[in-house]
Amino acid sequence: MANDDLKSLIRTIPDFPKPGIAFRDITTLLLSAHGLATTVDRLVAATDGPIDLVAGIEARGFLFAAAMAVPLDAGVLLIRKDGKLPGATIAEDYALEYGEDRIAIHADACAPGARVLLVDDLIATGGTARAAVRLLRKAGATVEQALFVVDLPDLGGADALRRDGIAADALVAFSGH
């Protein structure tokens, strides 16, 4: 695989946050200047078409969104947990394995018709990413693509985004949970 160099920089922590889960920890990738730069370069290269804003999902998505925005000549839109942004916001609820959560953006974060690329570090079940797409579209954005560093394809999140009409891609994939 073309991104095996990046995959080797991501460590797996077994039984975190609970038994049976293999946590894919990107902090080891972030510690490598070359790994981080290469990740950003490859995410930028995977971007389809011109982009007005790169939307990053709290919190690790912020890192990649900001780094990608510079070479893409785009702004950065922060998607945060509800209650974390000052001023007027719009929000979207979504289901979690154990309940519900809510994400928000500033009400004036993007102009209607803005071309927005969604970015996060990892896609698992897709609940947060799908809610982010709904939220951005509610704000009037055009969202056609989502990029991730890591995909856990067995959990189906990227496929769910594709069914929602989003081109969803990741640099590396890990089987299992």
Active site residues: 60, 97
Q: Report how far Cα 29 is from the mean position of its chain's Cα atoms.
A: 16
Distance from C-alpha of 101 to C-alpha of 107, rounded to nearest angstrom = 19
N-terminal to C-terminal alpha carbon distance within the chain: 21
Q: How far is CA 51 from the centre of its chain?
A: 15
